[in-house]
C-alpha cells in the first residue's frame, strides 16, 4: 500500500486530501495522513459568527472567473450554498487627499475603456488623462524577460496611475507593492495584450466588445463568489469527506528527508527509499510520497537538509503579512457613510489602512438588517511593523482612518482583529522562471509534490487547483470511476 503524507491543512492541503480520499474509495491501494500544526484545519480560511453576523477572518470570497473553488463546492454538494457578490451595488472608491473618489465607469482593472467617464473623473489629473489618450497609439511591444507591474503601468499611463490605482488594487489582493510584483505572474493578460496590440486601452476595448457579444442574452456572472455561511463552510465540507483517522492536528513537522540519507548530504534524486517525515517531538514516520502544502518559506525549512538547491529557491519566494480588523456597527450609525463595496487607500495617503470593505453591501445576507460589518485590511509588504501593534493600537488607527475618510464616528458594538503572519506569497519579477526551476528540481525527487499559494496564483481557487494537482502527481491511478465521498 502506498503511504502519502500531506504537510499543511489549509485549503491546498485539504484539496489534496480530498482527492486522495476519492482515489482510496475508488479502490486505489493507498492511505494518507494529513499533518497540521494548528489545532484546527483550514489555514487562513476562518469564519466567525458574531452578533448574528458572518465575519471572515481571512478571505471573504473568490473570483468567479477562476472555476476551481466553485467546482469543488459543487462536487461537495454545496452548489446551493454558493452566493455571488451584490454587483448592483458594486462601486469602489479611492481615497485621494482624504476624500472618496469613485472609480469611473468602464475601468477594467486599471485600464479605461469608456472615454467620457474617465475624462470627467476627478481621480486622474489632466496630465494622466493626456497620457491615457496617447496610450491609445502605443505600438505592439515585446519585453524580454520580466518586469514589475509598476514598470509596465508607468510606461503606459504614468506614475499617478501606479500610485492611485495599480498599487492599491494589488495591495488589496497580495498585500504587496506593485513595484515588487511580477507583471508576467500577476497580470499575464496585460503582457499578451501589450505584445499583440501595444495599447492596453485598445486591447481592453476590443475584449470588452467580444465579451459583450459572447454574453448577449445571458445573465452576467457575479465578479466574486463566496459561501452562504462563510468560507469555513468549504473547509467543513472538505473535512467531513476525509476519514478522521487520516487527520492529525496539533502536529508540526520539522523536516522531510529520504530515509537513510545523512542530514546535509542531500536527497537521493529518483531514489526509491521512503520519505521520512520528522515531527517537532522528534518522532519520525515513513511515507512513499509527500505533499508539502504549507507556505514556501516553511517548505524551504522542511527541505533544507534534504535538497539545499530546492530549499533555496522556495525560500527566495517572499511573503507578506496582513491584518483584518472587523467592526460591527448598528446599521443606522453608518448609514450613508458606507458607500458601495468600500474603498482603497493609496500609499501616498500615508495611512495605516490599505483597504476597507462594507461587507453588508458586498454580501448583504452576512449581516442582519440592523447591523453593518466594516472590514479593514492593514499590513502588507510595506508595513510589517503594524503586525507587532496591540489590538488597541490597531483599532484606534482603523477608527481614526474611518472617521477621517468616511466620516464614521460611531463606536462599533463588536471588534475582531485577526493577524496573518507571512501568509501571502509575493510573486516578484522573475517568479515564473523560479517556479520553472522549482518544478524541474521537484520532478527529480520522485514522490514529492508541492501545493499552495506560492506557485500559480494566490487566490483560493488557485490553491484548490494546486492541491488537486499535487494529489494527482503522487497518488495512484483510479481503478474504478471515483464517486465523491459521502459527507
Ligand atoms: C487576510 C487574507 C485575505 C485573503 N483574501 C482572499 C480573498 O478574498 N480571496 C481569495 O481568493 N484569496 C484570498 N486570500 C488568499 C488565500 O486565502 C490564500 O492564499 C489561501 O487560502 C492559502 O491556502 P494554503 O492552503 O496554500 O495556505 P494556508 O491557508 O496558509 O495553510 C497552510 C497550513 O499549513 C500549516 N503549517 C505550516 N507549517 C506547518 C508545519 N511545519 N507542519 C504542519 N503544518 C504546517 C499552517 O498552520 C496552515 O494551516 C487572502 C489571504 C489572507 C491572509
Please, which residues have CB within 8 angstroms of residue 362's CB and are 6 or more apart in sequence? 60, 61, 85, 86, 89, 90, 224, 341, 342
Interval between CA 11 and ligand 1 midpoint (Å): 7
The whole model's pTM is what? 0.94
Closest atom of ligand 1 to 45 CA is 21
Residue 324 CB less than 6 A away from ligand 1: yes
How far CA 55 is from CA of 181, 230, 375, 444, 487, in Å, comes to 29, 8, 9, 43, 25
**Residue 269 confidence (pLDDT) above 80:** no
Specify the DSSP element, H or E, that contains 360. helix 359-362
pLDDT tens per residue across span 433-480:
999 999 999 998 889 999 999 999 999 999 999 999 999 999 886 544
Mean pLDDT within 376-402 = 95
- For 84, 105, 321, the CA distances from 75, given in Å and listed in that order, are 18, 36, 32
Burial 253-283 (b: 16+ CB within 10 A, else e): bebbbbeebeeeebbbeeeeebbbbbeeeee
Task: Give the distance (Å) from ligand 1 centre to CA of residue 353.
Answer: 21
DSSP single-letter state for residue 88: G
Average pLDDT (3-14) is 98
Give residue 486's pLDDT: 45
**Banded model confidence at residue 260, pLDDT cuts 50, 70, 90:** confident
Residue 267 has pLDDT above 60, yes or no: no
Residue reference for cell 499552495: 452
> How many other CB atoms are there within 10 angstroms of residue 130's CB atom?
12
Residue 36 has pLDDT above 90, yes or no: yes
The pLDDT of residue 34 is: 98
Query: Is 172's pLDDT higher than 90?
Result: no
Comparing CA positions, the residue from 404, 425, 235, 403 lying closest to residue 322 is: 425
Residue 262: pLDDT over 90: no
pLDDT digits (tens, 9 = 90+) for 400-431: 999 999 999 999 999 999 999 999 999 999 99
Cα–Cα distance for residue pair 332/226, rounded to 1 Å: 26
What separation in Å is there between the alpha carbon of 173 and the centre of ligand 1?
A: 13
Q: Which of 423, 465, 466, 469 to mutate to test ligand 1, by most ligand atoms within 8 A of the CB atom?
A: 423
144 vs 69, higher pLDDT: 69
Phi, psi of 105 (to 5 degrees): -60, 145
Residue 372's SS3 state is strand
CB atoms within 10 A of CB 53: 20
Measured from the CB, is residue 325 less than 6 Å from ligand 1? no
**Crossing angle of helices 308-315 and 431-444, rounded to 10°:** 150
- Sheet containing strand 275-279, edge to edge, reads 253-258, 275-279, 284-287
Neighbours of 1 (CB within 10 A): 9
Distance (Å, whole) CA 224 – CA 359: 12
Grid coordinates belonging to 284: 519520525
44 ligand 1 Cβ < 6 A:
yes
Task: Using alpha carbons, select from 134, 127, 146 the residue that is nearest to residue 201.
Answer: 134
| Residue 230 near ligand 1, beta carbon < 6 Å | no
Decide whether any atom of ligand 1 lies within 6 Å of the 417 Cβ: no
Q: 12 CB less than 6 Å from ligand 1?
A: yes
Residue 443: the pLDDT is: 92
What pLDDT shows up at residue 487? 42
- Spatial neighbors of 67 by CB under 8 A, at least 6 apart, are 461
Amino acid at each position: 500500500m502506498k503511504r502519502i503524507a500531506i504537510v499543511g491543512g489549509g485549503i491546498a492541503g485539504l484539496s489534496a486530501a480530498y482527492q486522495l480520499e476519492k482515489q482510496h474509495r475508488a479502490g486505489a491501494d493507498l492511505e494518507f495522513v494529513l499533518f497540521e500544526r494548528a489545532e484546527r484545519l483550514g489555514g487562513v480560511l476562518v469564519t466567525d459568527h458574531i452578533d448574528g453576523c458572518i465575519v471572515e477572518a481571512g478571505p471573504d470570497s473568490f473570483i468567479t472567473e477562476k472555476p476551481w473553488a466553485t467546482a469543488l463546492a459543487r462536487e461537495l454538494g454545496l452548489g446551493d450554498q454558493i452566493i455571488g457578490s451584490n454587483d448592483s451595488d458594486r462601486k469602489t472608491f479611492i481615497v485621494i487627499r482624504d476624500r472618496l473618489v469613485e472609480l469611473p465607469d468602464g475601468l477594467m482593472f486599471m485600464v479605461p475603456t469608456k472615454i467620457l467617464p474617465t475624462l470627467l473623473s476627478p481621480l486622474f489629473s489632466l496630465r494622466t488623462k493626456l497620457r491615457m489618450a496617447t496610450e491609445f497609439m502605443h505600438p505592439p511591444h515585446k519585453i524580454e524577460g520580466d518586469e514589475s507591474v509598476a514598470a509596465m503601468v508607468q510606461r503606459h499611463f504614468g506614475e499617478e496611475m501606479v500610485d492611485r490605482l495599480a498599487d492599491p488594487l494589488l495591495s488589496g489582493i497580495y498585500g504587496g507593492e506593485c513595484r515588487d510584483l511580477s507583471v508576467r505572474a500577476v497580470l499575464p493578460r496585460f503582457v499578451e495584450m501589450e505584445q499583440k496590440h501595444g495599447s492596453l486601452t485598445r486591447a481592453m476595448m476590443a475584449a470588452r466588445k467580444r465579451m459583450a457579444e459572447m454574453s448577449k442574452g445571458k445573465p452576467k456572472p457575479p465578479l466574486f463568489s463566496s459561501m452562504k455561511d462563510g468560507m469555513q463552510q468549504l473547509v467543513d465540507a472538505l473535512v467531513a469527506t476525509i476519514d478522521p483517522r487520516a487527520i492529525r492536528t496539533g502536529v508540526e513537522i520539522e523536516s522531510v528527508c529520504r530515509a537513510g540519507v545523512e542530514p546535509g548530504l542531500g536527497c537521493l534524486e529518483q531514489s526509491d527509499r521512503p520519505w521520512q517525515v520528522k515531527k517537532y517531538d522528534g518522532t519520525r514516520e515513513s511515507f512513499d510520497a509527500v505533499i508539502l502544502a504549507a507556505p514556501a518559506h516553511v517548505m524551504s525549512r522542511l527541505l533544507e537538509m534534504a535538497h539545499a538547491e530546492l530549499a533555496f529557491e522556495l525560500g527566495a519566494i517572499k511573503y507578506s503579512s496582513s491584518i483584518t480588523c472587523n467592526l460591527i456597527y448598528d446599521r443606522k450609525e453608518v448609514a450613508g457613510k458606507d458607500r458601495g463595496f468600500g474603498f482603497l487607500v493609496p500609499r501616498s495617503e500615508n495611512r495605516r489602512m490599505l483597504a476597507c470593505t462594507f461587507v453588508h453591501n458586498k454580501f448583504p445576507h452576512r449581516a442582519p438588517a440592523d447591523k453593518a460589518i466594516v472590514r479593514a485590511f492593514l499590513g502588507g509588504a510595506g508595513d510589517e511593523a503594524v503586525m507587532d501593534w496591540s489590538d488597541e493600537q490597531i483599532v484606534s488607527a482603523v477608527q481614526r482612518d474611518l472617521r477621517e475618510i468616511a466620516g464614521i464616528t460611531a463606536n462599533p458594538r463588536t471588534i475582531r482583529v485577526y493577524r496573518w503572519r507571512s501568509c501571502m506569497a509575493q510573486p516578484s519579477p522573475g517568479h515564473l522562471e523560479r517556479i520553472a526551476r522549482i518544478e524541474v528540481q521537484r520532478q527529480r525527487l520522485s514522490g514529492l509534490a508541492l501545493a499552495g499559494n506560492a506557485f500559480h496564483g494566490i487566490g483560493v481557487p488557485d490553491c484548490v487547483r494546486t492541491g488537486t494537482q499535487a494529489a494527482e502527481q503522487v497518488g495512484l491511478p483510479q481503478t474504478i470511476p471515483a464517486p465523491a465521498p459521502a459527507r
